[in-house]
Amino acid sequence: MSFFLVCLLLLSVLFLMKKKQNMKKQNKNLPPGPSKLPIIGNLHQLGTLPHHSLWNLSKKYGPVILLQLGGVPTVVVSSSEATRQVLRNHDLDSCSRPLLAGTGRLSYNYRDIAFAPYGNYWRKMRKICVLELFSTKKVQSFRFIREQEVASLIDSISQSSLSAIPVDLCEKMMSLTASITCRVAFGKRFERNEFDEGKFQEVVHEAMTMLGSFSASDFLPYIGWIIDRLSGLQGRLERSFHDLDGFYQQVIDQHLNTKETKHEEEQDITDVLLKLETNQTEIDAVKFTQSHIKAVFMVEWTLVLSLWFGLWQSLLGIQEQ
């Protein structure tokens, strides 16, 4: 029995020595970075403005630094030359977005094309979207919608000016992009039901907040989910998911209950996606389902909010000048 324990002890020591040697070899190729604390790593050094904190760290440690964000080793690149090497020479290693709790839940377990990891599934989903949804012919078929909504926006601003009423351009731009997306994707506005304009925008804003929120489970394995539950983040994420899922299901049901036959040029994006489901299209040996349709809807609203944020930033720049 004692001989067995001695052998086990020797094997453990050899294993630890080997592991330490391997770590030393790996550390020789690692970028520089600040010292880290147990468990949380360098999370405490990010501060309330992470981009400012990272910029300050890059001035001390160089354009390429290594941070330990909880249990996630993270390389931060902050120079144009290093970024060019990453995006050109190592594009396949860095083209996928990190698998986070918020994006995974709201994208129906990464069934979209914005957050899905690069691979066969992503390529097939991208092909479907390019050929069926974003082709030149399809985009041109929605031209009258864009013209009507822009004309409506201009008329609204004109009426406000005649009445000497201040105009919130940020709100108007958000309303414009949301209206165009609703009509293109869903075929109608949702102003006279439970998902009225104010409620719907509130739901979308909450979803975007969840996508960009800090989730402890993303950085602290084993214990992060406990922190998310105690902080209420997990509950907010689930409510946001169910609100959006209910809206998407309502859209799908309305299209399925519509008996009228639409010509190809009259079909909205939901009609096209439902046609793919009816034809039992397969993506990487998986049948195209309503979960895939809802995931594509999530991508559209991500693009809408990104466009709105860009317009908002531009308007702020104009106001500052």
pLDDT in tens, 104-118: 998 899 988 888 898
* Predicted local distance difference test score (pLDDT) of residue 320: 47
Query: Is the predicted pLDDT of residue 103 greater than 60, yes or no?
Result: yes
The count of other CB atoms within 10 Å of the CB of residue 213 is: 16
| CATH superfamily of the 120-320 domain | Cytochrome P450 (1.10.630.10)
C-alpha 5/C-alpha 13 separation (Å) is 12
Q: Where in the chain is the domain with CATH 1.10.630.10?
A: 120-320
- Which token pair is 61? 């440690």
Which band of pLDDT confidence, cut at 50, 70 and 90, is reported for residue 91?
A: confident
Which band of pLDDT confidence, cut at 50, 70 and 90, is reported for residue 284?
A: low
Instruction: Write down the pTM of the prediction.
Output: 0.74
C-alpha 255/C-alpha 249 separation (Å) is 10
Instruction: Give me the mean pLDDT over the 130-151 stretch.
Output: 87
Contact 81, 63 (CB under 8 A): yes
* Predicted local distance difference test score (pLDDT) of residue 265: 67
Contact 99, 208 (CB under 8 A): no
